[in-house]
Amino acid sequence: MLLRNTLVKLAENPQLSATAQKYGLQLGAQHVVAGTNVQEAAQSIRSLQTDNIEATMNYLGELVTNEHEATAAKTAILHTIDTIVEQQLRAHLSMKPTQLGLLIDVDTCYDNMRDVIEYAAVHNIFVNVDVEDYNTLHITLDMVEELQKVFDNVGTVVQASLLEAREITERFLHTRLRFVKGAYSESSDVAYTNKLDIDIQYIELVELHLLHGGFTSIATHDTNIIEHFKHFAEANNIPREQFEFQMLYGFRKPLQQQLARDGYTMCTYVPFGQDWYGYYMRRLAERPQNMSLVTKQVFTKKTNTAIAVVAGALVLRRLLKK
Ligand SMILES: Cc1cc2nc3c(=O)[nH]c(=O)nc-3n(C[C@H](O)[C@H](O)[C@H](O)COP(=O)(O)OP(=O)(O)OC[C@H]3O[C@@H](n4cnc5c(N)ncnc54)[C@H](O)[C@@H]3O)c2cc1C
């Protein structure tokens, strides 16, 4: 837990993130980030499509603190929509509110999100509003609810670790929802910290949504949970058109391919862009084994990037040894 919290804190460090952006994909990030620009991401998606796997494209970025950057992010996301349309990619979008200005002011963020969703609606493309840390949760959900009054191509995420995840599921029951366990380090006042509690709540809420709700995205790499829902769907006559499995780009590729081969809708979360640092650090936080991606890179590449990012990674390795 100490390691996880430290990694998540490092993920939110703006200096490390700014330094990392100058150096392209480093430290193993290239295995889990599909490129630094939309054309590279499109190439990766075409490759997924050969395995009958769909994509949700995420132009990386978060915790933006000035309006210029928020506008630039919106422009890049609009350009991503153009790319989906032009290249006929089997893809939709995922975007983060703090990338579009939530930390600057709510109106700026709302307007940016609305512009993206409106443009996506013209092309019949779904937009998922990712949920970030607890401080931004309620305002994010309020914005999604407002947007859903106008648009039907927008949905959001339930983090099963949250104590109030059931209320959130019930509030958005009839909409399209992605269920995750939760990637942020939250206090025990607002979230379960025990894996078993999180897993139980995850299963209960996905079952509730599958039985009574809108389209369900089961976003996990957890084989036991995936197996459970394959059987649950069959036992309850839930048609395969009503749900999909989602996993992150670069993780459990054989399992993703197998699910697609078995006739399930498989959708890969495809992150791309320069701002890879926070995303990558959260992946390391989730699963210490992912640190092998870092250590391989540090020792095999003759890189003089003895930069803050490496310093961050070395801190993590020290922690891992504890
Ligand atoms: C598509 C997608 C979208 C997401 N969006 C959000 C979001 O908007 N907000 C948010 O807070 N979080 C989001 N997350 C992250 C999520 O909250 C979890 O932090 C992350 O998915 C890890 O939880 P898990 O259920 O996959 O597996 P865990 O509970 O971390 O692990 C369970 C088991 O799965 C297996 N496993 C996990 N990862 C791997 C791997 N790489 N290789 C092999 N086995 C593995 C292991 O057996 C492990 O014991 C998203 C995740 C996905 C997949």
Instruction: Assess whether 105 and 227 both reside in one domain.
Output: yes
Whether 280 maps to a domain, the answer reads no
Q: Which residues pair with 165 in a beta bridge?
A: none
Is the CB of 31 inside a 6 Å radius of any atom of ligand 1? no
How far is ligand 1, taken at its centre, from the CA of residue 221, in Å? Answer: 5
**110-167 tens-digit pLDDT:** 999 999 999 999 999 999 999 999 999 999 999 999 999 999 999 999 999 999 999 9
**Which parts of the chain fold into alpha helices (H)?**
2-11, 14-21, 38-50, 67-86, 106-122, 137-150, 165-171, 195-212, 223-235, 253-261, 277-286, 291-300, 308-321
Q: Which atom of ligand 1 is nearest to the CA of 247?
A: 53
In single-letter form, the type of residue at position 190 comes to V
Residue 169 domain boundaries: 34-275
Residue 97 structure tokens? 């509110």
Residue minimizing CA distance to atom 8 of ligand 1 = 130
Mean pLDDT score across all residues of the chain:
89
Name which residue leads in pLDDT, 229 or 15.
229
Residue 50 structure tokens? 């050969």
Instruction: Assess whether 314 and 190 both reside in one domain.
Output: no
Cα 10 to Cα 184, 185, 282, 310, distances in angstroms: 12, 11, 9, 12
Query: Cβ(256)–Cβ(268) under 8 Å?
Result: yes
Residue minimizing CA distance to atom 17 of ligand 1 = 182
Q: Which CATH number characterizes residue 151's domain?
A: 3.20.20.220
Is the CB of 253 inside a 6 Å radius of any atom of ligand 1? no
**156-179 tens-digit pLDDT:** 999 999 999 999 999 999 999 999
- Dist CA 202 CA 188 (whole Å): 17
Is the CB of 38 inside a 6 Å radius of any atom of ligand 1? no
pLDDT at position 14 is 72
Residue 305: closest CA among 286, 266, 283, 277: 277
Instruction: Assess whether 12 and 123 both reside in one domain.
Output: no
Instruction: Assess whether 82 and 175 both reside in one domain.
Output: yes
Instruction: Assess whether 245 and 302 both reside in one domain.
Output: no
Residue minimizing CA distance to atom 38 of ligand 1 = 221
pLDDT at position 123 is 98
How far is ligand 1, taken at its centre, from the CA of residue 283, in Å? Answer: 8
Give the three-class secondary structure for 137.
helix
Is the CB of 134 inside a 6 Å radius of any atom of ligand 1? no
Instruction: Assess whether 210 and 299 both reside in one domain.
Output: no
Q: Ligand 1 pocket check: which of 287, 289, 291, 293 to mutate, most ligand atoms within 8 Å of Cβ? A: 287
- Dist CA 149 CA 50 (whole Å): 36
Per DSSP (E only), the strands in the chain are 54-59, 91-95, 127-129, 154-159, 177-180, 216-219, 243-248, 266-272
- Dist CA 115 CA 274 (whole Å): 22
pLDDT at position 299 is 43
Is the CB of 182 inside a 6 Å radius of any atom of ligand 1? yes
Q: Which atom of ligand 1 is nearest to the CA of 157?
A: 8
The count of structural domains within the chain is 2
How far is ligand 1, taken at its centre, from the CA of residue 50, in Å? Answer: 24
Residue minimizing CA distance to atom 49 of ligand 1 = 222
Instruction: Assess whether 120 and 267 both reside in one domain.
Output: yes
Cα 55 to Cα 45, 68, 91, 214, distances in angstroms: 7, 28, 5, 19
pLDDT at position 11 is 67
Q: Rg for the chain (alpha carbons), in Å?
A: 19
Question: Is residue 25 over pLDDT 70?
Answer: no
* Phi, psi angles (nearest 5°) of residue 280: -65, -40
- Dist CA 176 CA 73 (whole Å): 24
Instruction: Assess whether 146 and 49 both reside in one domain.
Output: yes
Whether 177 maps to a domain, the answer reads yes
Question: Is residue 52 over pLDDT 60?
Answer: yes
pTM (two decimals):
0.89
Q: Which atom of ligand 1 is nearest to the CA of 248?
A: 53
Whether 281 maps to a domain, the answer reads no
**191-228 tens-digit pLDDT:** 999 999 999 999 999 999 999 989 999 999 999 999 99
Is the CB of 165 inside a 6 Å radius of any atom of ligand 1? no
Instruction: Assess whether 136 and 14 both reside in one domain.
Output: no
Whether 283 maps to a domain, the answer reads no
Instruction: Assess whether 3 and 69 both reside in one domain.
Output: no
pLDDT at position 258 is 98
- Dist CA 301 CA 307 (whole Å): 14
How far is ligand 1, taken at its centre, from the CA of residue 86, in Å? Answer: 31
**68-109 tens-digit pLDDT:** 999 999 999 999 999 999 999 999 999 999 999 999 999 999
Is the CB of 131 inside a 6 Å radius of any atom of ligand 1? yes
Residue minimizing CA distance to atom 25 of ligand 1 = 220
Is the CB of 267 inside a 6 Å radius of any atom of ligand 1? no
Is the CB of 137 inside a 6 Å radius of any atom of ligand 1? no
Instruction: Assess whether 94 and 164 both reside in one domain.
Output: yes
Is the CB of 287 inside a 6 Å radius of any atom of ligand 1? yes
Q: 21-30, 185-194, 197-206, 287-296: which has the minimum mean pLDDT?
A: 287-296
Mean pLDDT on 290-312? 51
pLDDT at position 319 is 46
pLDDT at position 103 is 96
Catalytically active residues are 130, 178
pLDDT at position 301 is 45
- Dist CA 172 CA 143 (whole Å): 12
